[in-house]
Structure 1
Amino acid sequence: MLIAKDDPSVGPSFSLQNRLMRQLWNWTWLMLFRPSPRPLHAWRNWLLRAFGARIGQHVHVYPAVKIWAPWQLTIDDYVGVADGVTLYNIERIHIGERCVVSQGSHLCTGSHDYNSRSFRLIAAPIVLEPSVWVCAEAFISPGVTLPMGAVIAPRSVVAKSLGTPWSVYAGVPARIVGKRTQQTY
Structure 2
Amino acid sequence: MNPRGRTDLSTFDNRWYDPGRPLAVRVLWLAAHRAFLQTAFPWPSRLKSALLRAFGARVGEGVVIKPRVTVKYPWNLSLGDHTWVGEGVWLDSLGRIEIGADVCLSQGVMVETGNHDWSKPSFDLVVKGVTVEDGAWAAVRSLLLPGSRLASHAVLGAGGVLSGDTEAYGVYAGNPAAKQKERRIGSAP
**TM-score under structure 1 normalisation?**
0.87
Aligned AA for 2:110? H
Closer, same or farther in 2 for the Cα pair 1:18/1:157, shift >3 Å? farther
In the alignment, does 2:94 pair up with 1:90?
yes
After the TM superposition, which residues 6-155 of structure 1 pair with which residues of structure 2 at under 5 Å, given as runs?
Answer: 7-8=11-12, 13-14=17-18, 17-35=21-39, 37-38=41-42, 40-155=44-159
| Distance 1:88-1:31 versus aligned 2 partners, 3 A rule | same
TM-aligned CA distance change 1:139 to 1:15, over 3 Å:
closer
Unpaired runs of at least 5, structure 1:
1-6
SS of alignment partner, residue 142 of structure 1? coil
- 1:81 and 1:16 mapped to 2: Cα distance? 23
Residue 32 of structure 1, CA deviation? 3.4
Paired residue type of 2:103: C
Equivalent in the alignment of 2:171: 168
Counterpart residue number, 1:179: 182
- 1:113 is displaced (CA, Å) by 1.1
Which has the larger displacement, 39-48 or 87-96?
A: 39-48
Give me the TM-score of the superposition, normalised by structure 2: 0.85
Map of 1:3 onto structure 2 = none
Letter in 1 for 2:149: T
Q: CA RMSD in A?
A: 2.1
Residue deviations 1:153-175, cap 9 Å, x none?
Answer: 0001001111x211110001111
Structure 2 unaligned spans of 5+: 1-10
Deviates more, 1:48-57 or 1:32-41: 32-41
